[in-house]
Structure 1
């Protein structure tokens, strides 16, 4: 990704979007920057960062989906979280993380 510098007015807009309810990922996509860049600008402006939390029911569902063969990427997309959050949810639900690689293909009868 090419380095993108935001001017003061763009940072103002970035902060306003985030405070208006957009996620860091959505704001990053709007400005074509990494979400870490968004977090840095928010921290520089002393904007408190929201921490998305999964409910206990969502953690349990994530564990079930992973056991059914869904990948962490698929689960992350379904719950709008990153793969690492999905991984932690699987572990928290008592699951074991599969080895990397292709998942077993299931056949429909």
Structure 2
């Protein structure tokens, strides 16, 4: 029986989480993305600890490289889908800040 590498398992979990983030971002379902981003961050932190301590065989290295490539491609697409939403949010926040400053200077608007 083959024992699965913890490193490979973490990369599989990371790839799965990024894939789900991509599905949600394509559907414009932004609410679960922060939870998944936290999960991804925790997996990356775990990998930083365990990866240097575990030797992978050639098959495992190939699997990890395929997963990393998938993660990279899907993460880039997620970022591309999220960026316009963040830009819009920042624009709205800037507008609200400007209104607040005008309200302080000239009194509340009606």
TM range (shorter): 0.3 to 0.5
Bigger Rg, which one: 2
- TM-score after normalising by structure 2: 0.34
Between structures 1 and 2, the one with greater helix share:
2
Identify the structure with bigger relative contact order (alpha carbons < 8 Å, sequence gap 6+). 2
- TM-score after normalising by structure 1: 0.34
